[in-house]
Amino acid sequence: MRQEDFFFQIESHFKNKLPFVAYKKPNESIVKGWFQNNDNVHYTSNFDESGFVFSPFDSKKPTVIFPTESSKIITSEMGLTLNVDHGESQHDTATHFKEHVELVQKGVDIIHKSELEKVVLSRAEVVPISDKNPLQIFRKLLHQYSAAFVYIWYHPKVGLWLGATPETLLNIDGLRFKTMSLAGTQYYVDTLDVTWDSKNIDEQRIVTEFIVNELEPFVDQLNVSNPKTVKAGTLLHLQSQISGILKPNHLKNIVLSLHPTPAVCGLPKVEAKYFIQNNENYDREFYTGFLGELNLKTSRIRNTNKRNVENNAYATIKTESQLFVNLRCMQIKNERALIYVGGGITKDSIPLDEWEETVKKSKTMMSVLN
């Protein structure tokens, strides 16, 4: 579909208050859209349906799904040219500063006094956007963050969200899977050749060890790469690639064991989640949840040699799922953008530094609101 027709379809669905999601996968040029044909809210509990899912941080709450059978799915090649202003929006952060620094200090104190190793603490930055079109924000995100999973998601009975997340929760192709351990943060300044301090190294190690331990009961093979520095917008992170072969019929178990990861919650998971929900003083909703394609069927030809007609008759049908952690995101409601940012707190965390980290992370979304 032509690009402008694609965006017209999004605008039409939005004006008619019908659910949709449009997104681009990391380092791809195809934008894909799912347009639900009614305003019903569908949920999945077993993760055996086919569709596009959006799941909240609290895994006890239901996961919303746009079912394949209730959606029109279209694609478009991205070829927009757009100059993106990388400046910062003007907003008042003074009221957030004191609250977040006190919250981080409380987290550090509880880590020293309990079994908590890490807790991820966040806040919501509120920016007035009465004159902003969500589709224009989406277009800017598409161009500014080509290496991220970029999306706009809307349901009239649930909400409007946009994001550009650098983190994969889980990719499954048949029984082959890939995920990542992503943690640690510093500013990108012209090079990936940087030094990481012990706080960031330990934080990324904790995340990696958790993912490996959670996956082991459900896999026949597991491979973990050494950490490397990766760029996400204006930030750098430490990342390890984790891959292998899954045992059959364990998708729900795997998703629930991984989510929420230590990168967005902490360790031990139960204790960290309890601390978050009793001390952050706001509802994360879908921030640090996950979203993406669930159980899509794909057909692949065994032999791509067109002259070999006999072998071309043999195609394999595979089931694929690609789920992403909902980081670097915003929720739009009441003519305001709620920009969600956070950071991993360990025994070595310094509250003022943690505040600065959230400010750096907020610039991913702030830069597209000018």
Largest CA distance in the chain: 70
Domain range 3-366, CATH class:
alpha beta
Per-residue pLDDT band for 315 (boundaries 50, 70, 90) equals low
pLDDT greater than 60 at residue 82: no
Cβ atoms 182, 166 nearer than 8 A: yes
Per-residue pLDDT band for 343 (boundaries 50, 70, 90) equals very high
40 vs 182, more confident: 40
pLDDT greater than 90 at residue 152: yes
pLDDT at position 142: 94
Per-residue pLDDT band for 301 (boundaries 50, 70, 90) equals low
> Which is it for the CA torsion 215, 260, 340, 19, positive or negative?
positive
Domains of the chain, residue spans: 3-366
Beta strand spans in 37-167 (E)? 43-44, 51-55, 63-67, 71-77, 118-128, 149-155, 159-165
pLDDT digit string (tens) for 153-194? 999 999 999 999 989 999 999 999 999 998 888 988 889 999
Nearest to 275 by CA among 342, 350, 322: 342
Size (the chain), residues: 370
pLDDT greater than 60 at residue 89: no
Per-residue pLDDT band for 83 (boundaries 50, 70, 90) equals very low
pLDDT greater than 70 at residue 366: yes
Kindly state the helix (H) or strand (E) to which residue 14 belongs, with its residue range: helix 3-15
pLDDT at position 234: 81
For residues 118-144, give the mean pLDDT.
91
What rounded mean pLDDT belongs to the chain?
89
Rounded distance, CA 63 to CA 83, Å?
A: 36
Q: Encoding tokens for residue 304?
A: 């791509």
Rounded distance, CA 55 to CA 72, Å?
A: 21
Lowest mean pLDDT among 47-56, 200-209, 219-228: 200-209
Nearest to 3 by CA among 21, 30, 28: 30
Beta-carbon contacts of 222 under 8 Å, excluding residues fewer than 6 positions away, are 212, 215, 216, 242, 243, 244
